[in-house]
Amino acid sequence: EAQVTQNPRYLITVTGKKLTVTCSQNMNHEYMSWYRQDPGLGLRQIYYSMNVEVTDKGDVPEGYKVSRKEKRNFPLILESPSPNQTSLYFCASSLEQADPYGYTFGSGTRLTVV
Amino acid sequence: KQEVTQIPAALSVPEGENLVLNCSFTDSAIYNLQWFRQDPGKGLTSLLLIQSSQREQTSGRLNASLDKSSGRSTLYIAASQPGDSATYLCAVDSARGSTLGRLYFGRGTQLTVWP
């Protein structure tokens, strides 16, 4: 089944403790991106990647890092999480940037930073 | 910067009603517009995608239209059912060079269909 898989689904951590949220797709998609969803603000793009070793900032990149060493994987790294990064995170992928056939989203990761 | 607005923010209707959800966007430079459904605490399920050259798409009881020049889209749900209760999100895919491929989302319409 074609899908985007995120792990973990739920995560509670403490301020300053480095964490990684993984994202993997099995559709050979070139374009992958991360979004966060906050009440009253909607979904906003954090980072995106057009292909292996090609990444760039979205609208809200502060406090996050990403890497794209393999085509299928696009992990989101929080080096020193803070409470304002408590949010629902989604990974998405598409065949190419601005794909006319749209995006596939993962099931989300709910992160709480205390 | 692209801004996407969805009206109404919330809607509560009895089963069987035909519904219209509205979405407007400020920048007509888009590749496509996608409607998603989100159940509480869950991921996004793609419902319909309209490419910028298209006017509408249909899937079962759902019909979405796009008027790119006026920056508007509507999602029509026929004969609503309690299982349709969810938040519906509209997203446009930017065609601007600096934000190419970025999705801009509205804040959603929270729909409740009661029996």
How far is the C-alpha of B80 from the C-alpha of B66, rounded, in Å? 21
Percent of chain B with pLDDT over 70: 100
How far is the C-alpha of A81 from the C-alpha of A64, rounded, in Å? 9
| Average predicted confidence (pLDDT) for chain A | 93
Q: Is the pLDDT of residue A44 over 80?
A: yes
Question: A15 is written with which tokens?
Answer: 């301020």
Would you state the pLDDT for residue A100? 67
- pLDDT per residue as tens digits for the range A67-106: 999 999 999 999 999 999 999 999 999 987 767 678 899 9
Chain A closest CA to B72's CA: distance in Å?
A: 18
Query: Using the beta-carbon criterion (under 8 Å), do A102 and B93 form an inter-chain contact?
Result: yes
- The edge-to-edge listing of strands for the beta sheet with B4-7 is B4-7, B19-25, B72-77, B62-67, B56-59
Query: Using the beta-carbon criterion (under 8 Å), do A103 and B94 form an inter-chain contact?
Result: no
Would you call B62 an interface residue with chain A, using a CB distance cutoff of 8 Å?
Answer: no
Letter for the amino acid at B5?
Answer: T
Would you call A2 an interface residue with chain B, using a CB distance cutoff of 8 Å?
Answer: no
The 8-class DSSP code of residue A83 comes to G
Would you state the pLDDT for residue A83? 97
Query: Using the beta-carbon criterion (under 8 Å), do B93 and A107 form an inter-chain contact?
Result: no
The 8-class DSSP code of residue B96 comes to S
DSSP string covering B52-82: TT-SEEEETTEEEEEETTTTEEEEEE-S--G
Question: B21 is written with which tokens?
Answer: 């959800």
- pLDDT per residue as tens digits for the range B79-89: 999 999 999 99
Residues 6+ apart with CB under 8 A from A79: A18, A63, A65
A63-102 residues touching B, CB cutoff 8 A: 90, 92, 94, 97-102
Find the range with the poorest average confidence among A47-51, B21-25, B72-76: A47-51
